Amino acid sequence: MTQFSILDLAPVAQGSTPADALHNSLDLAQHAEAWGYGRYWLAEHHNMRGIASAATSVVIGYIAGGTSRIRLGAGGIMLPNHSPLVIAEQFGTLASLYPGRIDLGLGRAPGTDQLTSRALRRTLGGSVDDFPRDVVELQHYFADPDPEPGQKVRAVPGEGTNVPLWILGSSLYGAQLAAMLGLPYAFASHFAPAQMMQAIAVYRERFEPSEQLQEPYVMLGFNVCAADTGDEAKYLRSSSLQSFISLRLGTPGQLPPPVEDFESTMNAQERAMLDQIGSCSAVGAPDVVKHDMAAFVEKTGADELMLVSSIFDHKKRLRSFEIANEAGKAINQRKASR
């Protein structure tokens, strides 16, 4: 069976506040838990007026306190921005408070611009090349509380929690690292699908079993904009398209309201930007969304889809995820009947 989960950027819609976005995130997570979604992840981004999940571990704690069963995590924490010890303590604290519910996805991109990276770390002396070493360091901090000989630094809380680690990526690098370390792999196909199929193949072919994971496990990002009619879905999607183009042009802002017939107003450069994400998206009425989600699962063999749906109106966003959930259940029922 394919698992279906949600990636939330805690979008700040125009005319609203980060507080509104965070309250909406909790409401969405509560609905997701009731609908039966597998996970609810939040992403780390900084210096972006349209994203409220910058303090990712804090937001996860807020969501965890308002839910009871659904797994929660980061998709992901951008490890070059942080000391591995600090992340071990943060997620060790979450795992201590909410045992069996916390995941930690790790990325090696900064999730922001260079100036903001400097403000986060106060120095650019670190390097993304340290990423594999930092991941292994995190594993040691989370391990059972029998420190290695000579280990003087310990994560408390953290040690013994064995928080599951995931490697996030949009290239072959992450696939190779996840395979080497025997960790589950999450590919950011919802915004950078170019190397998706190659990365999946590399990961599965090179996977080495580990204490955490015996067989390869692939999660793929997938965009969904579902509504009761195709015309409404296309209209609602225009908000995320505007936002994506603004981000690619270096002018990110708050999530804009939808615009009628937006795609007809785009120039060639903007169309080219959006062509790449169209293959990992389902936009339309329930039957169309179910068909496109099923086709994507069939094509990729994904173990899990991490669904992304950025819609201006919160109630319409809830409806989009409700339709996607119904589609996911139908896909799994069809698999079970084969």
pLDDT greater than 90 at residue 77: yes
Instruction: Indicate the pairing of strand 165-169 with strand 218-226.
Output: unpaired
- Please say whether the beta carbons of 80 and 130 come within 8 A: yes
Q: Helix (H, G, I), strand (E, B), or coil: what is residue 186?
A: strand
Same domain, 153 and 12: yes
Of 144, 163, 182, the one marking the end of a domain is 163
What does the angle CA 181 – CA 186 – CA 187 come to, to the nearest 5 degrees?
A: 115
Torsion, Cα of 276, 280, 285, 289 (10° steps)? 160
Residue 196 lies in a domain: no
pLDDT greater than 60 at residue 1: yes
pLDDT greater than 60 at residue 203: yes
Residue 178 lies in a domain: no
Q: Which helix (H) or strand (E) holds 88?
A: helix 84-97
Same domain, 330 and 231: yes
Please give the single-letter amino acid code of residue 240: S
Domain that holds residue 254: 224-338
Q: Which residue has the tokens 């991109």?
A: 109
Same domain, 30 and 117: yes
Residue 324 lies in a domain: yes
Cα separation, 329 vs 27, in Å, equals 21
Residue 215 lies in a domain: no
Same domain, 97 and 7: yes
Give residue 122's Cα distance to chain centre: 26
Of 163, 178, 207, the one marking the end of a domain is 163
Residue 148 DSSP one-character state: P
Rounded to two decimals, the pTM is 0.94
Residue 192 lies in a domain: no
Residue 260 lies in a domain: yes
| Residue range 41-58: mean pLDDT, rounded | 94
**What's the mean pLDDT when you consider all of the chain?**
92
pLDDT greater than 60 at residue 45: yes
Same domain, 107 and 252: no
Same domain, 304 and 233: yes
Same domain, 111 and 2: yes
Total domains in the fold of the chain: 2
pLDDT at position 128: 61
pLDDT at position 4: 98
Of 14 and 275, which is predicted with more confidence?
A: 14
Same domain, 16 and 157: yes
Same domain, 159 and 252: no
Q: Which CATH number covers residue 7?
A: 3.20.20.30
Of 112, 130, 163, the one marking the end of a domain is 163
Residue 247 lies in a domain: yes
The pLDDT tens digits for 109-163 are 766 677 777 777 655 555 667 899 999 999 999 998 776 666 788 889 999 999 9
Same domain, 23 and 150: yes
Length of the chain: 338
Task: Quickly state the pLDDT bin for 37 (edges 50, 70, 90).
Answer: very high
Residue 122 lies in a domain: yes
| Residue range 15-24: mean pLDDT, rounded | 98
Count how many Cα atoms sit within 13 Å of the Cα of residue 209 in the half-sphere of its side chain: 2
The pLDDT tens digits for 245-302 are 888 888 889 999 999 988 888 888 878 777 777 789 999 999 999 999 999 999 999 9
| Residue range 53-72: mean pLDDT, rounded | 97
- Residue 242, C-beta contacts closer than 8 angstroms, at least 6 positions apart: 256, 259, 262
Same domain, 258 and 337: yes
Same domain, 159 and 243: no
Query: pLDDT above 70 covers what percent of the chain?
Result: 96
